[in-house]
Amino acid sequence: MTGLQETESPGPLLEARGISKRFGRVQALEDVDFDVHAGEVVALVGDNGAGKSTLIKAIAGINLADEGRIYFRGEEVRISTPNDAVTLGIATVYQDLALCDNLDVVANLFLGQEEIAAGPGGVLRELDETEMEERAHELMEHLAVTIPNLRSKVGSLSGGQRQQVAIARAMLGDPAVVMLDEPTAALGIRQTAQVLGLVKRLRDDGHGVVVISHNLENVFAVADRIHVLRLGHSAGVFSTGTTAKGDIVAAITGADESGPLVIDMPRAEATAVAGA
């Protein structure tokens, strides 16, 4: 894990500008701006169908935007495939986690990027189990992940532990930005606390963290800013330090139709949302 906060410029790590996406007759996103800085957690909230997942998938290279630009570390980039995003340093953990229940924690962490043994074993493509286990232990210890035995089958773990494994796997390559889709969905109080603690540690390590969530309690517990989407449009960008939950609910539901809001933005670089 690297000290990202020491090396990043003051501008956003990731910027999306004027993102629009249509699926047939459905305008899923229209002229949406979004950004996240190093050492910051930005929550992306809104009702079902607001466009949250569509925006994340456009940034992750799954569903390409019809219009708009993406900037990474201040330079315009083209993300056409998920590999493009990963190569840049953007990792995504989706709600289904994509874990293999029949494999242990170490195997899941290195799935698709296994370490090959050196020497004669490399000729036969033997896995370097010792190296993978040592790296897994180092990563889990750094992230303070609460899994006693890394050789436990993932299928035997709790929901919170599984979520931590999925996030740790995304962090194996030390990405600058990690996007988490509903990381606390269907978790109990204790498991939710474990996952939220991990999100805070990622922020403290200097990563830019994007969290999609319907749970405003969890959002206010970890987020520095909240970006609200409503019916495919930006409905406001709020600082959690100066915003009440009622303001977020009003933006989500459209109770305040006065237009997009920017309340007490903590970053000089953060700009007004749609229409700015």
In whole angstroms, what is the distance from residue 46 CA to residue 205 CA? Answer: 28
Dihedral pair phi/psi, residue 90, rounded to 5°: -120, 115
Tally of CB atoms within 10 A around 184: 26
CA 173 to chain centre: 14
Q: Could you tell me the CA-to-CA distances from 106 to 143, 145, 175, 223, 249 in Å, in that order?
A: 15, 13, 19, 30, 41
DSSP letter (8 states) at residue 248: H
> Mean of the per-residue pLDDT values for the chain?
87
Indicate the pLDDT class of residue 194, thresholds 50, 70 and 90.
Answer: very high
Buried-state track 102-116, b at ≥16 Cβ within 10 A, e below 16: eebbbbbbbeeeeee
29-51 confidence digits (pLDDT tens) = 999 999 999 999 999 999 999 99
pLDDT of residue 267: 42
What is the sign of the dihedral through the CA atoms of 82, 85, 91 and 94? negative
Mean pLDDT of 130-155: 91
pLDDT of residue 115: 74
Q: pLDDT over 70 for what percent of the chain?
A: 86
In whole angstroms, what is the distance from residue 213 CA to residue 184 CA? Answer: 8
In whole angstroms, what is the distance from residue 95 CA to residue 97 CA? Answer: 5
pLDDT of residue 186: 84
Q: Is the domain covering 4-89+175-263 a CATH 3.40.1010.10 domain? A: no
In whole angstroms, what is the distance from residue 182 CA to residue 88 CA? Answer: 23
Which amino acid is residue 33, in one-letter code? D
Indicate the pLDDT class of residue 121, thresholds 50, 70 and 90.
Answer: low
pLDDT of residue 273: 34
Indicate the pLDDT class of residue 86, thresholds 50, 70 and 90.
Answer: very high
The secondary structure element, H or E, covering residue 163 is helix 159-170
pLDDT of residue 255: 82
The answer to whether the beta carbons of residues 46 and 228 sit under 8 Å apart is yes
The secondary structure element, H or E, covering residue 35 is strand 26-36
pTM: 0.84
Give the position of tokens 């569509």.
54
Tally of CB atoms within 10 A around 246: 11
pLDDT of residue 128: 81
Dihedral pair phi/psi, residue 127, rounded to 5°: -80, 140
> Shortest CA distance to 174 belongs to which of 9, 24, 7?
7
Mean pLDDT of 2-30: 82
Domain-by-domain residue ranges, the chain?
A: 4-89+175-263
pLDDT of residue 124: 54
In whole angstroms, what is the distance from residue 165 CA to residue 118 CA? Answer: 27
- Opening angle at CA 187, ends 184 and 191, nearest 5: 90
Q: Could you tell me the CA-to-CA distances from 22 to 1, 27, 51, 84, 85 in Å, in that order?
A: 38, 4, 11, 22, 21
Mean pLDDT of 82-97: 95
pLDDT of residue 276: 33
The answer to whether the beta carbons of residues 182 and 167 sit under 8 Å apart is no
pLDDT of residue 9: 52
